[in-house]
Structure 1
Amino acid sequence: MNGGPSGFNNAPVTRAFIIASALFTVFFGIQGRSSKLGLSYLDIFGNLQHWKLIVSVFAFSSTPELMFGLYLLYYFRVFERQIGSNKYSVFILFSVIVSLLFEILALALLKDPAVNLVTSGPYGLIFASFVPFFFDIPVSTWFRVVGVRFSDKSFIYLAGLQLLLSSWKRSILPGLCGILAGSLYRLNVFYIRKAKFPEIVTSLLSRISWPTMGRSPSAAPRNIVGNMPSYAGRQAERNYPSSMPSATEPSEDSISTLVSMGFDRSSARQALVQARNDVNVATNILLEAQSH
């Protein structure tokens, strides 16, 4: 199971966050300070090392955590494609801030000055993303291994479990705080799901993030009817119904279903228009366009 088209096409905010996380981790790893980045009771309420609040959001404390963490962040780019870079930026900020507040509250309640209770890294964002992953991403295939039934989503859950247990209680705590933050976002607390940043913010993130191999986020969406070669277009016109009136828009649920399957949002919408909002026919249109 993948998070859609390869690379960071239509996911510039995810790209910027992953680059920042990797750079912070490597920088502090070279200095030999990765293991000291975790938050503790003394850091917040004693020594006042508040700089750790920012660093701990990005830098992982070990290479295995970095590998699993970046893999999950890369997969969850599907949500940026689904809701758009602007709203996804709000989701990141909300998840990071709320999970961090929960972590500080937990440290205040536990009052353990001797042990770092919270490991560093974007655990809040990663585990907040598991909430929409559980509810909004459908299972596409099932299979059995030694008699045990698995879905294509199982690999993501296993990677998340590995990350959650990577440092035992130090990683479990921020993971649970992230799940709480993701749950509050899904419940639309303070109508957060309707919030947006000024477009200049997400545009800036898109410009400062490094280029990736292949197509850029601004590249044209994958070919579908209307953009595909003439032969493919004529063939699709013969096999599928003509587009519906322009005044009728495809349902948001149908678009989200196709986006969750890995298709570009714009392409999904166009295919649904061509298929009269029939998800199965639209899927065939998109797959046929890919084959050409």
Structure 2
Amino acid sequence: MQGGGLSGFQNAPVTRALIIASGFLTVALGARGKSRQLGLSYQDLTKNPRVWRIIASGLAFSSTPELLFGLYLLYYFRLFERQIGSNKFSVFILFSGAVSSALEVIALMLLKDSKFSVLASGPYSLIFALFVPFYFDIPITSRFRIFGINFSDKSFIYLAGLQLLLSSWRRSLVPGICGLIAASLYRLNVFGIRRLKIPGAIASFFSRYFTSSSPGPSGPLRRNIAGNIASNMGRQTQRNYRPATVVPPPEPPAASVETLVSMGFDENAARQALTQARNDINVATNILLEAQSH
């Protein structure tokens, strides 16, 4: 995958909040020796349910290797928040979390007397839910062979996900599968979920307290600026048009190219799409997504 683009948590306040919450709870509970007690079981939900334990089990990992792989994948997948915006990304998280939690409860009821009766703690369902848009929406930009085996620039992310999925084996398998099912339902737009938006007050909270500061304008503002520039240049071209004059397309702004590259697109392909879309970054994104689907 391309390594350029926006750095850190710029334009990804929701991802930033998730990583901070997961890392803090994992370290805090691990220091108190409670991390190994977080895996939920059927008995935990029926005999002595505790709200704090349920919440902690959904965010805190039980070991350092799981924490490292889990936070790495969450950090990498921040590109989806940049791609669809923090509001829609929050809807995706809430929907995937609610559906996967319901599926996990059903699984615990059905498997209460089996070896799968205890679930691994940590945001497994969310991480594996994000593998669905990763598979469908992120293009492969390069391929290579190692010892006769074909790999792509996406292979390392899949291997990291496989390592995390098998980290606790039976305990992590069920949450991972539930997350994949939940994200698939979101992609199918069940109940029109993709049209929903988070209330402005909540969105403003994350934007205010978890957005990384940067010298440049934010992603949405930068996209608006790029769109306004392209629109104004288009109107100016129409006013000054003469049949004998060929007006060259405007040079794509570096910020727009960086934004598309941060979503996982190839830099050259991003420049070509922006040129074709006359620097409208939303149109360019659609061109790139349509190109990779064919």
Which TM-score bucket, shorter chain as reference? Answer: 0.7 to 0.9
Q: CA–CA distance in 2 between the matches of 1:84 and 1:276? A: 16
- By how many angstroms is 1:80 displaced? 0.6
Give me the whole-angstrom Cα distance separating, in 1, the residues matched to 2:151 and 2:105: 36
* Residue of structure 1 in register with 2:58 after alignment: 57
Equivalent position of 1:203 in the other structure: 204
CA drift at 1:274: 2.7
Structure 1 CA distance for aligned equivalents of residues 56 and 194 of structure 2? 26
**What is the count of residue pairs matched by the alignment?**
257
Question: What are the equivalent positions in structure 2 for 1:269-288 lying under 5 Å apart?
Answer: 273-274=277-278
The CA distance in 1 between the partners of 2:20 and 2:189, in whole Å, is 29
State the Cα deviation string for residues 134-179 of structure 1 (Å, max 9, x = none).
1111100001111111000001100000000000000011000100
One-letter code aligned to 1:90:
V
Aligned residue in 1 for 2:242: none
1:194 counterpart residue number: 195
* Distance 1:21-1:276 versus aligned 2 partners, 3 A rule: closer
For residues 212 and 280 of structure 2, the distance between their equivalents in structure 1, rounded to whole angstroms, comes to 37
| Residue of structure 1 equivalent to 2:249 | 241
Q: What is the aligned partner in structure 1 of residue 167 from structure 2?
A: 166
User: What is the distance in 2 between the residues matched to 1:268 and 1:19?
Assistant: 37
In the alignment, the residues of structure 2 paired with residue 8 and residue 131 of structure 1 have an alpha-carbon distance, to the nearest angstrom, of 22
TM superposition shift of 1:36: 0.6
Structure 1 unmatched ranges of 5 or more: 228-237, 244-254, 284-292
CA contact (8 A) 1:41 1:108 kept: yes
Between the aligned partners of 2:99 and 2:89, the Cα distance in structure 1 is: 15
For the aligned residue pairs, the C-alpha RMSD in angstroms reads 3.6
Aligned to 1:7: 8
Equivalent in the alignment of 1:100: 101
Deviation at 1:199, TM superposition (A): 2.0
AA in 1 matched with 2:154: K
Q: Distance in 1 between matches of 2:178 and 2:217?
A: 31
C-alpha displacement of 1:28:
0.5
Structure 2 SS opposite 1:48:
coil
CA distance in 2, matches of 1:221, 1:27: 38
Aligned-partner SS, 1:149: strand
The aligned residue for residue 75 of structure 1 is 76
Shift of 1:38: 0.7
1:274 partner SS: coil
Q: Which residue of 1 aligns with 2:255?
A: none
Relative to structure 1, the CA distance from residue 60 to residue 216 in structure 2 (aligned partners, 3 Å threshold; closer, same or farther) is farther
Looking at structure 2, the residues matched to 262 and 28 of structure 1 have their Cα atoms a distance apart, in angstroms, of 41
Q: Are the aligned partners of 2:111 and 2:117 in contact in 1 as well (CA < 8 Å)?
A: no
Maintained 8 Å contact 1:259/1:268: no
Change beyond 3 A, Cα 1:25–1:46: same
Q: Give the 3 Å change call, closer, same or farther, for CA 115–261 of structure 1 in structure 2.
A: closer
Distance 2:58 2:35 in 1: 13
Percent identity between matched residues is: 54
**SS at structure 1 position matched to 2:130:** helix
Partner of 2:265: 261
Q: What 5-or-longer segments of structure 2 have no aligned partner? A: 231-245, 252-258, 289-294
Per mean C-alpha deviation after superposition, the further-off stretch among 11-20 and 112-121 is: 112-121
* Paired position in structure 1 for 2:111: 110
1:35-54 Cα offsets, whole Å, 9 max, x none, are 11110111001222343221
CA distance in 1, matches of 2:165, 2:99: 18
Q: Is the 8 A contact 1:16 1:206 kept in 2?
A: no
Report the Cα offset of residue 259 of structure 1.
3.7
Residue aligned with 2:151, SS: strand
How far does residue 16 in structure 1 lie from its aligned partner after superposition? Answer: 1.0
CA distance in structure 2 between the partners assigned to 1:215 and 1:114 by the alignment: 52
| Residue 237 (structure 2) aligns with | none
Distance (whole Å) between structure 2 residues aligned to residue 217 and residue 47 of structure 1: 49
The alignment's TM-score, normalised by the length of structure 1, stands at 0.76
